[in-house]
A and B are shown apart, each in its own frame.
Chain A
Amino acid sequence: MRLIILITAVLISNLGLAQNYYVYVTAESEDEVALIKFDGKTATADKTIRVGYKSVEIEGPHGITVAPDGEHWYLSMAHGNPNGLIYKFKTGTDEVVATTELGLFPASMQISELTGFLFCVNFNLHGEMVPSTVSVVEPNTMQEITKIPVGTMPHGSRISPDGKFQYSVGMMSGDLVEINAMSLEVSRVLPLDEMEMDHSKMNHGEMNHDEMDRSKMNHGNMDHGAMKHSKTKPTWVQPHPTNGNIYVAGNGTDEILEISSSEWKVLRRWSTGKKPYNLDITPDGKKLIVSYKGEGATGIWDIKKGVELKKISNSRLVSHGVAISPDSKYAFISAEGKGGEPGSVDVIDLKRLEKVASVNIGKQAGGIAFWKMD
């Protein structure tokens, strides 16, 4: 189905027809999802969808993804009792189809076209520095199949182009985790910090997280101040569509890491703007788009050269998510804003390297997913 969408995109693009682009964007502090329509010139909020069911509690829609066949979209809700939920909606009508409970603060997610499973990281942003999990969901029945233990505060959840692997990064454990999307087990882990971590006060060798009984742990007596967490603070991972490399946002060290999936090592580190957060790569494989959360800007990188082509200011100070149109022409950037400010979605023309449209949505614009072109 994705191929058909790509073909359609290329055909429309080659024929020079006028087209509309649609992206779904979450507003995390508004409990809303906005459907943004961009006609090549102007971006508008075509529809606002209320999500959640507690009128006086913010449930926090965070991660969003559209199924490969474009028929449904999936939304993670960060806050629950205490676990968050994942919702399944019908695209277009935006009706709720089903929900299921995942882990603490479920966040980014994607579906493997090969296995059909949805992989969602349980970000656990609640302050307790403990290993978390990736939930695997069967999207048709919306049943959680299993939770796979990974690092601390896993974020970014992206599938390799062949659908065989899911990648996430441990924001506090500082590692890149590869999950075999077929066997549903961790296949490789790559530490991303350059020996900066001081684990001298932590004996990981003796730790068996699988058999940890958290109810018997006395976190009150743990010296969290003595624990050093990842300096790199990786926040996103994006496999390249064709070159076999994986790109990671080093939010703590202001860099992009280029990692060879075959050699399983860091090839290059590029210095970036402040606090790179989310990434996406154009389907043609040429450009890497990076949101800089620390400076309210977006960087556009030439992947082959490892050079930032341009940095573009966003409409709000806290840049968040990135989605790219299948024709590689436009990047859609969500920017959270602060306090009572509305969130925004900026549209960047990737050929002209300039912001061409912007639209306000609800507060704390976050997760963003491309739906369709017509």
Chain B
Amino acid sequence: MRNLTLLLFAVVTSITALAQNVILKPESDITVIPVNEKKQLVVKAFDNDGNELKGGDFRYFAVQLKGVAKNMIFSKGLDVDSVGMADATAVGEYDVMVIRVPEKGEDFARIMHKVRVVNQEVAEISATGHPDPIYAGTIATLNVVVKDKSGTVVENPEVAAISSNSEVLEVDNLYNVFALKPGKATVTFKTGELISKLELEVLDNPVADIKIEVDQTTARTGDVLSFYCSLTDKAGKKISDIPIQYTVQGVASEPGSGSAATILGNRFVAEKAGTYVVTASTGGISSSKAIKVVDRGIAREVNLKGHGSVSDQHTSDLWVWEGIDGKDYAVTGTWGSNGKAYFWDVTDPTSITKIDSVQVDARTVNDVKISEDGRTCVISREGASNRKNGIIIIDVSNPRDVKILAEYTDRLTGGVHNLFIYKNHVYALSNSERYEIINIENPKKPKRVGQFVLENSAKSIHDVWIVDGIAYSSNWADGVAMVDVGNGVAGGTPEKPVEIARAHIFGDANHAAFPYHSKETGKKYIIAGDEIFPLAAMESTNFEEVFIPAGYLHFIDITDPENPMEVARYEVPEAGSHNYWVEDDMLYIGYYNGGLRVVDISGDLMGDLYKQGREIASYKPYDPKGFVPNSPFVWGAQPHKGHIFFSDFNSGLWSVQVEPIVPQDTKIETR
């Protein structure tokens, strides 16, 4: 009863305290500050009767809006010091938390104050990007930019554009200039009271004849054809440097498919078989060429060869290698379970046999890799009971009797999600922040020699893959970083890695990267994969609900590494990309719920490879005895000696074989 009395007394005291309210009020509901200017924020304190309270210690904090659920990721455009001096550096709306540390006997009070940073008065309109000279009968698109007095670009400005002589040229509201006939005209741009003028002269187009050419007039879907034109003037003299516009029209053979062909610049590709006409035009004259496109016709059957079942837990990554005894082996990891990795004899892919295992202090062995000489395996740890995680180095000289050589945890305690082995060094991810580089020349005594950290604030690295001394790290919103770790192109070493270039990947979901050099075209690519899970999964509390992943593979042309360009994609609808491998112009993909996918990536690449029929084969591993029965969820794939091995999250290790190509004139005899 004494307790109760005390508590009731406390409640009364508490209510009394609440009555002593302090109310904070800013000078205005919203403080407006022109960008690149500073302004002192002023908030005052009042009591319940409206009397201003002097004293108290005011503190100001600019709030960074961040989050995932609503994709709220903003760069900070407003700095506020502790006494409320606001420095506006980017247009937008910001919140500022204002706190009043009370005088003795007063209540604590706080308020969230809205600050709107706006552009200063507009000061400049620029229109660039038109060819010089402009020839009659061509179209040019202007890049119109408005800046304010501080030099800050005004987003989405309303700018009217008017031609002074619509017989010479016309301009539309998207700033396309249609050059009609020779002459001069002024284009006037107006936003608010600000006016800018652009003098343009349209010259006579000298082209009298145009003839479109292409090396072949029949193609398969997915083949990229480059068109070119020969231009001549009235005198029959060849001319060049005249803008040419290419267009395509036509109908796919398959009903309901529409045109299904694309031309970018002078490069053409079709997604569906049909007859297409490509037209080149300039100065009111044109030339056309018809192209017959046939189905790529590369689909092949996949035959199941073997299955090494793992039905009591999830399976993660795999690696297949030729052992030092000449036989073939595989290692697979496990996920969200008891820290096991399994070793398999896959010499006979029809008879995958589990031959050994290790169990380490972990819940997830997410990644497994084998050294080039086939003697050393390194596995990653997450969920170790002592929270040290790190990596485990294993002697796999005899895969039937593997032996743990060392545990290495230094600076890897947050968990290792992915790793790679290259020339006696392990490149191990440390909590998405960096990769640590560890020398394993003596695998019993691993030694740290370096690290790589992205030079930006996000520092989010997810995976690393190394070919020819260049490490390709996958970094979500930061794209793919190419780092010299021994190639020599930038003087990098494992001790001192040097970043060569960075490729941004559209969608900001870069999860994996694999370099590909097309010997046929001489082009170099990074195949950059997404991993995307729906945000709905975060907001769901229905444990049984199945969320379908998304994402695709992006083909980045890095032939000129200074100017990487995203040129193609492979995207399976309603499925999510994961890990993959390239060998001999063939791409082998673990496409999660989309199963295994085998894709022809030979020749030039442009557009949507899936829609172009470049998929050779697919296979979904349904296993009624799987950890989750009949739920294909392919983690990664690796070709090995004519077979494809892949690990499935719910059912273990599989091997399949794609049927060989049968020449069309070969007669198949049956008994």
Contact = CB atoms under 8 A, between A and B. Distances in A.
A339 B57 contact: no
A29 B336 contact: yes
A142 B69 CA distance: 12
B383 interface: yes
A85 B535 CA distance: 14
A57 B417 contact: yes
Contacts of B10: 3
Interface stretch (A7-15, A194-202, A263-271): A7-15
B61 A145 contact: yes
Contacts of A104: 414, 431, 433
A52 interface: yes
A263 B440 CA distance: 52
B540 A50 contact: yes
A116 B107 CA distance: 13
Interface in A19-65: 28-30, 32, 48-58
A182 B415 CA distance: 36
Contacts of B649: 56
Interface residues of A, number: 70
Interface stretch (B173-181, B184-192, B359-367): B359-367
B455 interface: yes
A141 interface: yes
Nearest to A339: B338
B400 to A, nearest CB: 24
Contacts of A28: 383
B150 to A, nearest CB: 27
Interface string B134-178: 000000000000000000000000000000000000000000000
A79 B415 CA distance: 9
A336 B361 CA distance: 13
Contact of B69 (A3, A57, A99, A337): A99
Given A81-B458, A127-B412, A364-B363, A144 B539 contact: no
A79 B66 contact: no
B28 interface: no
Interface string B91-126: 000010101011000001010100000000000000
A138 interface: yes
B382 interface: yes
A211 to B, nearest CB: 15
Contacts of A339: 337-339, 359, 361-363, 385
Contacts of B433: 82, 104, 126, 128
Given A49-B541, A116-B110, A339-B362, A81 B385 contact: no
A336 B97 CA distance: 38
A240 interface: no
Contact of A100 (B61, B67, B448, B461): B67
Chain B contact patch, size range: 35 or more
A308 to B, nearest CB: 25
A101 interface: yes
A53 B99 contact: no
Interface string A85-104: 10100000111101111001
Interface in B615-632: none
A243 interface: no
A183 to B, nearest CB: 5
Contacts of A188: none
Nearest to A216: B455
Interface in A102-131: 104-105, 114-116, 125-128
B101 A182 contact: yes
Most chain A CB within a 10 A radius of its CB, from B385, B448, B461: B385
B3 interface: yes
Question: In terms of DSSP, what is the predominant structure of the interface of chain B?
Answer: loop
A11 B7 CA distance: 11
Question: In terms of DSSP, what is the predominant structure of the interface of chain A?
Answer: loop
B363 A58 contact: yes
A354 B383 CA distance: 30
Interface in B364-389: 364, 382-383, 385, 387
Given A81-B432, A182-B108, A143 B361 contact: no
A82 B460 contact: yes
A257 interface: no
A220 interface: yes
A73 B8 CA distance: 27
B450 interface: yes
A340 B543 contact: no
A6 interface: yes
Contacts of B450: 220
A203 to B, nearest CB: 22
A127 B417 contact: no
Contact of A144 (B63, B335, B448, B547): B63
A114 B14 CA distance: 11
Given A126-B414, A363-B336, A184 B112 contact: no
Contacts of A224: 410-411
Most chain B CB within a 10 A radius of its CB, from A100, A127, A220, A336: A127
B413 A146 contact: no
Nearest to A317: B385
B533 interface: yes
B553 to A, nearest CB: 17
A142 B543 CA distance: 25
A146 B335 contact: no
B538 A58 contact: no
B518 interface: no
Contacts of A82: 431-433, 458-461
A262 interface: no
Nearest to A57: B417
B64 interface: yes
B4 A10 contact: yes
Contacts of A142: 67
A48 B615 CA distance: 41
Closest 10 CB pairs of A and B: A340-B338, A126-B414, A53-B538, A127-B411, A82-B432, A81-B460, A126-B431, A53-B537, A338-B385, A339-B338
Interface of B: 1, 3-4, 7-8, 10-11, 14, 57, 59, 61, 63-69, 95, 97, 99, 101-102, 108, 110, 112, 313, 335-339, 359, 361-364, 382-383, 385, 387, 409-415, 417, 430-433, 448-451, 453, 455, 458-462, 476-477, 495, 531, 533-543, 547, 549, 635, 649
10 contacts: A10-B3, A14-B1, A53-B539, A81-B477, A143-B97, A146-B61, A184-B59, A317-B385, A318-B385, A364-B385
Given A7-B8, A145-B61, 13 more contacts: A30-B336, A50-B542, A53-B68, A53-B535, A57-B417, A79-B414, A85-B68, A87-B538, A99-B69, A143-B63, A143-B97, A183-B57, A339-B385
